[in-house]
Structure 1
Amino acid sequence: MGRMKFDDSLEKPDFSKAMLLRIYRYFLPYWKQTLVVLAILILTSLLGLLPPLLIQQIVDHALPGKDLRMLLFLVTASLGATVASGLLGVLQSYLNSFISQNIVYDMKNQMYRHLQDMPLQFFSNVKQGEVITRMTSDISGIQGVFSGTIVNFASNLLVLISTAVTLFLMNWKLALVSVLVVPLFVAPTRKMGSVRWKLAKQTQEKISEQNHIIEETLSLSGYMLMKLFTREDTEQSRFREVSLATTRLQIRESMAGRWFMMLVSTFASIGPMLIYLYGGFLFIQGEITVGAIIAFVALLGRLYSPVGQLTNLYVDIKRSVALFERIFDYFDMEPQIVDNPNAVPLNDANSGIEFQNVSFAYQQGKPALRDISFKAEPGTMTALVGPSGAGKTTITNLIPRLYEPDSGSIRIGSADITSLTLKSLRSNIGLVTQDTYLFNGTIRENLLYAVGETDENKMIEACKAAYIHDFIMELPDGYDTIVGNRGIKLSGGEKQRISIARVLLKNPSIIIMDEATSSLDTVSEYYVQEAMAVLLSNKTSLVIAHRLSTILAADNILVVSDGKVVEEGKHEQLLEKNGVYKDLYDKQFGKKALA
């Protein structure tokens, strides 16, 4: 399924050529916009040189010569350069946003489609909220890679080169003095960048822990569990502890930055002082003008700032590559269940289902199914009974290829299901489970999820067949009633009947019922069983039931225990065997008799 290396990617980013090429491919579709951004960066770096140079002309020529026309021209030119640079900056910001947002859009869509192809086992094993984190914060973090890393690198590099060249052209002696201060920026910037990244990493881990607590305790199921076991104080204490640790780390990171800024400010002030000192000496010697000294000092900021930012860019690049690694870690997980190259559509779903020596294990060394063989004849009901954990649900999950068997084969008619397209296979299977899932939308939206669109009459007929139409019509908004998160506004029986109506609309050839009535009251069970009778009519069906009363009329009953079919036959035949089925039957109905 692929090896996950979530934390390692933060410590040891992969700067390999293959990784960089992989990242580059996401930017390639927007190469035209990127070229425009590069052109803007070149122009703005050159325009930024003009104001200091124009100030030199003002001080050296316009003011001493009392030339008002020249003064007006130079001031206007300086203002024009500033305005032009600002306007180009607005366009650059738009293009930065356009490129980065579209890359995020592309990656989110690619990730969503990729996750749709992941096997059920992936979602069973992944941590709660992990998929959402990868889809949201990790991919959204990519947004800053272009504007915050790539553009910053190009911008600072261009500003640094253009400024350094200008300074040396103006006066190479003063330029050398200016460069002497640069090492003072490099060492603390690199050290501070490393410290702040370590603190940011620790903060990120604590924030993830916060999100995990929120996901667990404020989701619908977690909230109800917390309330029923009165664990509010415990969870509040746990959340407060993690929040306090996060706050302290954020304060440390902020203060580390403040000390760093103090050092940078100190070093930044050394440069101008040296320029005034040595520049003053050169002025006295007649080698330089006052305007040149002022221009030099004005240009120093354009020299020192890029140096500090370029040195600190290592941290940004490290963070960016780490984000890409976390995302690629998911992309590198190959879908295990896919269409075979020569897969064909399922054309004859009414041919029955046959398991031939099927074995399966969720974990290596712990088989869930062992050498299962049986046949569900076309148009008949095959019931699966047995203790919890025996493997009944696993059997039904193998039919739509939610999992793949480790050995053996499953056939529908004469076709092995691995030779069929997944879409055609699953389109011919309807599943009704004990834990009915409804989206937080209207009843109509939940019903139409099966078919996308249908006319009102077909939907109403399906609901009437599922014995739920009358109930829906009694609701204030009828079919447009909001059912709430996971259908919480409806009872278990009502959700089940909506689920059955949804499957009726789909009209599949194969029906799987997994404990559809086990948690219902007597009245709800009656209506659900009536609906089931309509649903299962003339269908090939597999029905899992703990309540044996629901499957007494099954055409064939498989008794599953410890991953094996230990008994098979009709109800009366199994009672005569005095085996596992007889024991289950006596325990259930004996208890009912005593009640």
Structure 2
Amino acid sequence: MRTNKESRTGTKKAIFKRIFECIKPYWRQTLFTIIILCITSLLGVLPSIIVQQIIDRALPGKDFNLLVLLVSCSLISTVISSLLSVWQSYLSTSISQNIIYNLKNKMYRHLQEMPYHFFTTVNQGEIITRMSSDLSGIQGVFNGTIVNFVSNTLILMSTFITLMLMDWKLALLGMFALPLFVFPTKKVGNIRLKLAKQTQQQLSLENQIINETLSISGFKLMKIFNQEIKESEALQTVSFNTSRLQIKEFTAGRWFVMIMTVFTSFGPLLIYLYGGFLFIQGEISIGAIVAFVTLLARLYAPVGQLSNLYVDIVRSEALFERIFEYFDMKPQTTASISLSPWNVATHDIVFNNVNFAYQMNKPVLKNISFTAYSGKVTALVGPSGSGKTTIVNLIPRLYEINSGSINIGDEDICSLNLPSLRSKIGLVTQETYLFNGTIKENLLYAKSEATDQEIITACEAAYIHQFIMSLPEGYETLVGNRGIKLSGGEKQRISIARVLLKNPPIIIMDEATSSLDTLSEYYIQKAMNYLLKEKTSIVIAHRLSTIKNASNILVIKEGSIIGEGTHDELLKKNGIYKELCEKQFGKDFAY
């Protein structure tokens, strides 16, 4: 059995390997960046050496020409180093931006392919946090942390070699404090890693509150129930926790930093002391002492920064873990993307002993078997929570069945390519979703290449064209966030027009008229009659008047089919369907 330490080491190795894979496509730019950093690290040593020559040769010898030459060389090396730094900054920024661009788009595409149940269980704020602040944090790693790590390592190496060549005794004396910089770093890094994970969790909660309460539906609900103060206090509490965690994170190891500062001040004093002794003995020059102290500062700076960078790298591990955690989730389309495209002769939908559960040992559907015939309307009725919506959600494979089979024609839907399957299904739900764009843009979502005449024809069939033309901007009218500028009936008819434009052979209507006024229901019922014509149609309705003429009605209760037949047949059986009719229309309703 592996220990926790070994497990963490293995995880870190895997993470660093995946980070390398992100950088790999940009190896040329990365190589150029490293070459530039090598050159600038070497050029950075020159000013100190030149200072030594100025003090030891040019000034004592009163050689003005040599002084001008040395000063010019120092200036030129500084200018070249600065120009190279600008180029290096451009390259590193370009690499980091491209990496984040690829990661963000890959993440979005990956999330698009996740199963439907993923979005029903994960907080939206959590998704937004990983797509925004987590990726932004990773960008800082690629743009700053990694570059600074390489840069400081090269500076440290070039400075160390130069000091050893100048005087190895003084070099060893100046470096005695370096181990003290390194030892506490790991502990500080682990503390910041723990705090970073907690901080990101709090940021997710912040995004969740903001996203829910400032969305159209959430904002309206908050206003209606006078919950502004409660929600504001909730956000203040979470924000306070986030701020406290961030303060703790960025101040972690402050005593360590203080000790480092003391030792970086103490090192040059030792050089002056021992170097002065050597100067008195005639073993070293004043210029060498000054150059040594200057280079020692150049040595301490990268060591201190490398210690801090280790902390940043460990902290970034939390961000990479969160990002890679999403990438490691299995997308739904992985197993079906290469399967058969749509190629069925008929559009009969056949459920055969289908069982389904959202959670183990809690069945939602039990042995569901029925056939929805092509060109016919099959209706599902039953109490709320009986499993009607779950049944229709299985057809486009928003969820995967646990056992049994669902066929369209002779093909098992599990053998069909998902995009191909879903392209043949039209869905109209009770809660119509419209994007914050124009009416035309929302219609074109179903068929991007549709002509204006096709759009008009679909809207006329949905009894919404005249209303659209009465608007000042017509089809270019903005609908607002989630279609807030339109009534429920208007949104629903646009939704039907959108499905008509798609013109799929299979139509699913899930409570499409349950929350509408009488006039809207009248127009939508007429639109539905056109929409369902010659289609394989499955309709869920609480208003039984809308499915009275269905070819077949399935009565669902507690995840099972307990009755099946036409309206008249079910009434004669004196079962739950009759009870539902009596509750809606009264016991004296006309049979």
Length-normalised TM-score, structure 2:
0.94
Q: Which moved more, 1:379-388 or 1:254-263?
A: 254-263
Match of 2:88 among 92, 106, 116: 92
Deviations 1:327-363 (A, max 9, x none): 2211221124555487322234643111111111111
Structure 2 residue 335 is the aligned partner of structure 1 residue 346: no
CA shift, 1:22, in A, is 2.5
Local SS of the residue matching 1:360: strand
Q: State the alpha-carbon separation in 2 of the partners of residues 252 and 331 from structure 1.
A: 30
1:145 aligned partner: 141
2:452 aligned partner: 456
Q: Which amino acid in 2 is paired with 1:299?
A: L
CA 1:124–1:244 in structure 2 vs 1: closer, same or farther (change >3 Å)?
A: closer
Structure 2 residue 576 is the aligned partner of structure 1 residue 584: no
Local SS of the residue matching 2:367: strand
Q: Which amino acid in 2 is paired with 1:33?
A: Q
Kindly report which structure 2 residues correspond to 1:212-231, keeping only aligned pairs within 5 A, or say none. 212-231=208-227
1:75 aligned partner: 71
Match of 1:182 among 178, 185, 193: 178
2:568 aligned partner: 572
Length-normalised TM-score, structure 1:
0.94
User: Does structure 2 conserve the Cα–Cα contact (< 8 Å) formed by 1:350 and 1:509?
Assistant: no
CA 1:426–1:113 in structure 2 vs 1: closer, same or farther (change >3 Å)?
A: same
2:299 aligned partner: 303
Q: Which amino acid in 1 is paired with 2:429?
A: T
Deviations 1:232-255 (A, max 9, x none): 122222222333333344444555
Kindly report which structure 2 residues correspond to 1:310-349, keeping only aligned pairs within 5 A, or say none. 310-336=306-332, 338=334, 340=336, 343-348=339-344
CA 1:23–1:183 in structure 2 vs 1: closer, same or farther (change >3 Å)?
A: closer
CA 1:257–1:219 in structure 2 vs 1: closer, same or farther (change >3 Å)?
A: farther
2:119 aligned partner: 123
1:51 aligned partner: 47
CA shift, 1:211, in A, is 2.4
CA 1:349–1:489 in structure 2 vs 1: closer, same or farther (change >3 Å)?
A: farther
CA shift, 1:590, in A, is 1.1
User: Does structure 2 conserve the Cα–Cα contact (< 8 Å) formed by 1:26 and 1:103?
Assistant: yes
Q: State the alpha-carbon separation in 2 of the partners of residues 53 and 564 from structure 1.
A: 87
2:204 aligned partner: 208
1:552 aligned partner: 548
CA 1:349–1:120 in structure 2 vs 1: closer, same or farther (change >3 Å)?
A: farther
CA shift, 1:386, in A, is 0.7
Q: Which amino acid in 2 is paired with 1:373?
A: S
Deviations 1:122-180 (A, max 9, x none): 11111232222222222232212223332222211111111111011111121121012
Q: State the alpha-carbon separation in 2 of the partners of residues 222 and 588 from structure 1.
A: 31
Q: State the alpha-carbon separation in 1 of the partners of residues 252 and 318 from structure 2.
A: 23
Q: State the alpha-carbon separation in 1 of the partners of residues 188 and 360 from structure 2.
A: 47
Q: State the alpha-carbon separation in 2 of the partners of residues 543 and 191 from structure 1.
A: 62
Deviations 1:453-506 (A, max 9, x none): 211111011111101011111111111111111111111000000000000100
1:239 aligned partner: 235
Deviations 1:244-302 (A, max 9, x none): 33334444455557655443332211111111111111111111111111111111111
Kindly report which structure 2 residues correspond to 1:256-295, keeping only aligned pairs within 5 A, or say none. 260-295=256-291
2:509 aligned partner: 513
1:4 aligned partner: none
Q: State the alpha-carbon separation in 2 of the partners of residues 415 and 180 from structure 1.
A: 76
Deviations 1:519-554 (A, max 9, x none): 000011011111111111111100000000101111
CA shift, 1:112, in A, is 1.6
2:58 aligned partner: 62
Kindly report which structure 2 residues correspond to 1:100-111, keeping only aligned pairs within 5 A, or say none. 100-111=96-107
Q: Which amino acid in 2 is paired with 1:274?
A: L
1:529 aligned partner: 525
CA shift, 1:216, in A, is 2.7
Q: State the alpha-carbon separation in 2 of the partners of residues 592 and 537 from structure 1.
A: 32
Q: State the alpha-carbon separation in 1 of the partners of residues 489 and 569 from structure 2.
A: 32
Local SS of the residue matching 1:459: helix
User: Does structure 1 conserve the Cα–Cα contact (< 8 Å) formed by 2:129 and 2:203?
Assistant: no
Local SS of the residue matching 2:433: coil
Q: Which moved more, 1:111-120 or 1:52-61?
A: 111-120
Local SS of the residue matching 1:49: helix
Q: State the alpha-carbon separation in 2 of the partners of residues 510 and 200 from structure 1.
A: 49
Kindly report which structure 2 residues correspond to 1:5-20, keeping only aligned pairs within 5 A, or say none. 15-20=11-16
CA 1:248–1:540 in structure 2 vs 1: closer, same or farther (change >3 Å)?
A: closer
User: Does structure 2 conserve the Cα–Cα contact (< 8 Å) formed by 1:178 and 1:271?
Assistant: yes
Structure 2 residue 427 is the aligned partner of structure 1 residue 423: no
Local SS of the residue matching 2:586: helix
1:398 aligned partner: 394
CA RMSD of aligned residues (A): 2.3
Q: State the alpha-carbon separation in 1 of the partners of residues 40 and 479 from structure 2.
A: 56
Match of 1:355 among 329, 332, 351: 351
CA 1:435–1:349 in structure 2 vs 1: closer, same or farther (change >3 Å)?
A: farther
CA 1:423–1:556 in structure 2 vs 1: closer, same or farther (change >3 Å)?
A: same
Q: State the alpha-carbon separation in 1 of the partners of residues 386 and 15 from structure 2.
A: 46
Kindly report which structure 2 residues correspond to 1:420-499, keeping only aligned pairs within 5 A, or say none. 420-499=416-495
CA shift, 1:372, in A, is 0.8
User: Does structure 1 conserve the Cα–Cα contact (< 8 Å) formed by 2:344 and 2:410?
Assistant: no
Q: Which amino acid in 1 is paired with 2:108?
A: Y
Deviations 1:162-219 (A, max 9, x none): 1111011111121121012323433455555555555544444433332232223222
User: Does structure 2 conserve the Cα–Cα contact (< 8 Å) formed by 1:202 and 1:249?
Assistant: yes
Q: State the alpha-carbon separation in 2 of the partners of residues 194 and 123 from structure 1.
A: 32
User: Does structure 2 conserve the Cα–Cα contact (< 8 Å) formed by 1:346 and 1:425?
Assistant: yes
CA 1:592–1:49 in structure 2 vs 1: closer, same or farther (change >3 Å)?
A: farther
Q: State the alpha-carbon separation in 2 of the partners of residues 342 and 42 from structure 1.
A: 48
1:173 aligned partner: 169
Q: Which amino acid in 1 is paired with 2:479?
A: V
User: Does structure 2 conserve the Cα–Cα contact (< 8 Å) formed by 1:15 and 1:321?
Assistant: no
CA 1:592–1:248 in structure 2 vs 1: closer, same or farther (change >3 Å)?
A: farther
Q: State the alpha-carbon separation in 2 of the partners of residues 327 and 250 from structure 1.
A: 20
CA 1:126–1:171 in structure 2 vs 1: closer, same or farther (change >3 Å)?
A: same
CA shift, 1:15, in A, is 4.6
Q: State the alpha-carbon separation in 1 of the partners of residues 502 and 155 from structure 2.
A: 63
Q: Which amino acid in 2 is paired with 1:476?
A: P
Q: Which amino acid in 2 is paired with 1:457?
A: Q
CA shift, 1:415, in A, is 1.5
User: Does structure 1 conserve the Cα–Cα contact (< 8 Å) formed by 2:354 and 2:369?
Assistant: yes
User: Does structure 1 conserve the Cα–Cα contact (< 8 Å) formed by 2:347 and 2:505?
Assistant: no
CA 1:206–1:361 in structure 2 vs 1: closer, same or farther (change >3 Å)?
A: closer
Deviations 1:408-456 (A, max 9, x none): 1111112211222222211111000000111011100000000112111
Q: Which moved more, 1:479-488 or 1:250-259?
A: 250-259
CA shift, 1:40, in A, is 0.7
Local SS of the residue matching 2:175: helix
Q: State the alpha-carbon separation in 2 of the partners of residues 591 and 91 from structure 1.
A: 84
